[in-house]
């Protein structure tokens, strides 16, 4: 990736801009509207939201009013856990589109997998949810479909039943928490991995090794994290409400980390993860 407008190519040949702007924990209304507008003004063309973020209305308003053609902006949203299942998924998608006030979605994700802690029928729940996703995809209401926070043992039964394979898996991924088994599984099956919380919710930014690299390249530690994701073949979704940080997080194309530096970051000890483990969540 050489510039912000460069794209990854999904298995269905849809192009997805290489850095997304995350909106988790940005409240609806003026806050998210201004943040998304700032991101778009600074060249971002990939915006990530979710029903659970409760900011789809503001995100949609920003996209509609930004002055950039709709087809030039890649928009992602996600299905919340309480809406899993075939009919409930279809209804939830309609609500998301009503809130966004957009004609189509570029990417729709199952936010979290149903798990054995929640239901003995967790595999069937995921499969029925996915069947609704496939229907929406075939109807061309969504350009790409995928999942979020799915581990290999969640993906395997889904892949066995799926007519259309997931194109994306959005997972927590940052220095100190790389989920390598899941990343390897996804790459094997041509599922693009996206990184939510690529800055570890800010916890990684004081890591001495990252600070050393930031000083070497005259960059911020956040920029080191974003660049490391990209060079690892992972699509990062950095989030900020501060205009200078929004701009800074995308200025990562004028330096390259060495193979050894990538490896050093990869080998940082396990820490800074959110504690939201897909098999343990009960929300």
pLDDT of res. 117: 93
Q: What percent of the chain shows pLDDT beyond 70? A: 100
pLDDT of res. 248: 97
Please, where are the H alpha helices in 115-218?
122-138, 152-161, 180-188, 208-217
Q: What percent of the chain shows pLDDT beyond 90? A: 100
Measured CA distances, 63 to 48, 55, 60 (Å)? 12, 12, 5
> Please, which residues bridge with residue 108 across strands?
77, 145
Q: Tens digit of pLDDT for each residue in 58-81?
A: 999 999 999 999 999 999 999 999
pLDDT tier for residue 34 given thresholds of 50, 70 and 90: very high
The class of domain 17-202+234-239 in CATH terms is alpha beta
Catalytic residue annotation? 53
pLDDT of res. 68: 98
Q: Tens digit of pLDDT for each residue in 218-267?
A: 999 999 999 999 999 999 999 999 999 999 999 999 999 999 999 999 99
Q: Tens digit of pLDDT for each residue in 182-209?
A: 999 999 999 999 999 999 999 999 999 9
Residue 23 buriedness (CB in 10 A; 0-12 / 13-18 / 19+): buried
């Amino acid at each position: 990736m050489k510039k912000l407008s460069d794209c990854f190519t999904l298995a269905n040949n849809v192009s997805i801009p290489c850095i997304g702007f995350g909106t988790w924990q940005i409240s609806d209304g003026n806050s998210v509207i201004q943040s998304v507008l700032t991101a778009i003004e600074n060249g971002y063309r990939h915006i990530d939201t979710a029903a659970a973020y409760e900011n789809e209305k503001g995100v949609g308003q920003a996209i509609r009013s930004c002055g950039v053609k709709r087809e030039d902006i890649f928009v992602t949203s996600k299905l919340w856990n309480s809406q899993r299942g075939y009919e409930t998924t279809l209804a939830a998608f309609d609500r998301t589109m009503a809130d966004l006030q957009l004609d189509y979605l570029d990417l729709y994700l199952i936010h979290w997998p149903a798990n054995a802690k929640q239901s003995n029928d967790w595999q069937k729940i995921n499969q029925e949810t996915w069947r609704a996703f496939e229907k929406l995809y075939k109807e061309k209401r969504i350009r790409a479909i995928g999942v979020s926070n799915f581990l290999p043992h969640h993906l395997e039964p889904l892949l066995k039943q799926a007519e259309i394979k997931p194109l994306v898996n959005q997972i927590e991924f940052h220095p100190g928490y790389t989920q390598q088994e899941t990343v390897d599984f996804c790459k094997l099956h041509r599922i693009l991995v996206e990184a939510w919380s690529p800055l570890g919710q800010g916890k990684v930014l004081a890591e001495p090794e990252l600070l050393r690299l930031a000083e070497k390249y005259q960059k911020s530690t956040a920029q080191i994290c974003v660049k490391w994701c990209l060079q690892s073949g992972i699509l990062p979704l950095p989030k900020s409400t501060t205009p200078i940080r929004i701009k800074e997080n995308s200025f990562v194309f004028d330096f390259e980390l060495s193979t050894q530096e990538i490896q050093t970051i990869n080998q940082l000890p396990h820490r800074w993860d959110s504690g939201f483990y897909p098999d343990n969540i009960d929300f």
